[in-house]
Amino acid sequence: MITRFTPLLFSLSLIFGLGNTNAQTTLGPNDILVLWNLAETANGPGGPSANNDRVGLLTTRDLAIGTEINLSDSGSANGTTLQCTTEGEVTYTTTQFIPKFTVLDVYIFQANHANDYVVPAGNMSFVDDMALSTGGDQVFVYQGDRSAPTFVYSTFFDGTSWDASCSSSTTSVEPTTGGTFAFGASATSEFDNSWYNGPTTFTSVADAIAQVTNTANWTGENTNSGAGDTAADNLVANIMLPVELKSFEGRNQSNGNLLSWETYSELDNEGFDVEYSSNGREFTKVGFVEGNLTSTVINKYSFLHQTKIGNMHYYRLKQKDTDGKFEYSSTIVISSKNDQNINIYPNPAHNYVNISIEADKSEFVPYVLIDNMGKVVSQNTLDISRGVNTISLDLANFENGIYFLKFTNTAQTFKISKL
């Protein structure tokens, strides 16, 4: 099975040692997917009951502590708002860092929402009475108020296509934004319980979206046989990426260059060849680190390369499966000598900042721009000459807030306030 590393991502806790903050993650289309919709779950007070609902969510990005996720079964009359009929809303607020490709198992108890809960645990609150109908219903995942929601992902389980209008509690117009999905027994008939039954190992976020939104990978039933709960339990236990790289970093120290990396999950991971280059083009293997074969927890790795040659050092990982297939990581750069004097101005900034670099030689200077949630929003390489160089970095398309500009070859980081 070909494994895939995601593009180089950094979390603030890894780069700056700041830990996870309580700022909410702003979600976009398909950042959360729905894996099951059980209007009759056996896993509630009193056993199987139409009063017990269970919804499964799959995160496709990291969620910071304090992130709010709203769920509602209220339909949309115009594709932009909710509540064409008065129905309920359940809000899940994360109380711990949630890495991507985590399954959120949400239990909703009609007319008794004080018992609502989710795994992994978080804070639950509700407005009105959210109650999935056994006559077909919809589940909307969004942020913000129901009158002006930011749709993340919307599912329709009352037929294979959305309605032209919203005339009852089980009808809805398809939202015009966010990801959408429809599944039913026929064009106009529903299933009481529906669940994803496709592959549980994904090669990437794009692959996960493609698989979960493929109706051929879904099953439904109109009786509560318990099959839906069994399928949900299996999804909670088994969904993962083959090898998902969380971070890959390096630093120069007195005895060489220390590389460190972490994985979210692993499947048939034999290990990692560590490859080195002095010019960023030709790489040679300098070591091997054994993997953990199959794992669903975060694993940490490190490798010390003892070298004194040159000032610029390029490294990449060759992740190898037990079947011989492999995938390369992104390349990182370590400088063993700081030849640059860097200044950033104006700061605070509005639409741009100037990067002033005084260098004693011509070289390429890679950088990453990271937002306050640890997400890389921009990365590039500056082509600088000997002497003083001034380059403008355009910030016009970024939201106001705190950003961190990190130069990966010098380990220098600058905090930027955009107003």
Please tell me the distance from the alpha carbon of residue 288 to that of residue 370, in angstroms, as a whole number: 30
Q: Report whether 66 contacts 15 (CB < 8 A).
A: no
Q: What is the pLDDT at residue 2? A: 31
33 neighbors 205 (Cβ within 8 angstroms): no
Quote the CA–CA distance of 232 and 234 in Å, as a whole number: 5
Q: Report residue 335: phi and psi, to 5°.
A: -105, 130
Task: Render pLDDT for 252-303 as a digit per residue (tens, 0 to 9).
Answer: 777 888 999 988 777 788 899 999 988 778 899 999 999 888 776 788 999 9
261 residue type, one letter: W
- Lowest pLDDT segment from 8-12, 122-126, 163-167, 325-329: 8-12
- Residue 86, CA atoms < 13 Å, CB-side half-sphere: 2
Structural domains in the chain, sorted by start: 16-238 (no CATH), 243-335 (2.60.40.10), 340-418 (2.60.40.10)
Given a cut of 50, is residue 63 above it in pLDDT?
yes
Q: For residue 152, what pLDDT is reported?
A: 97
Tell me the percentage of the chain whose pLDDT exceeds 70: 87
pTM above 0.75, yes or no: no
Q: What is the pLDDT of residue 296?
A: 67
Q: What is the pLDDT of residue 48?
A: 47
Q: In sequence order, which residues have a C-beta less than 8 Å from that of residue 10 and are 6 or more positions away?
A: 247, 249, 368, 370, 374, 376, 406
Sheet holding 150-156, edge to edge: 122-127, 89-94, 68-72, 138-143, 150-156, 179-182
pLDDT band at residue 347 using 50, 70 and 90 as cut-offs: confident
Residue 191 CA to chain centroid, in angstroms? 30
Q: Using 50, 70 and 90 to split pLDDT, how confident is the model at 336?
A: low
Give residue 310's pLDDT. 63
Residue 46 binned pLDDT confidence (cut-offs 50, 70, 90): very low
pLDDT digits (tens, 9 = 90+) for 90-138: 999 998 888 788 899 998 887 677 778 888 888 888 887 787 887 778 9
195-238 pLDDT per residue, tens: 999 998 887 889 999 999 999 999 998 887 788 889 998 888 87
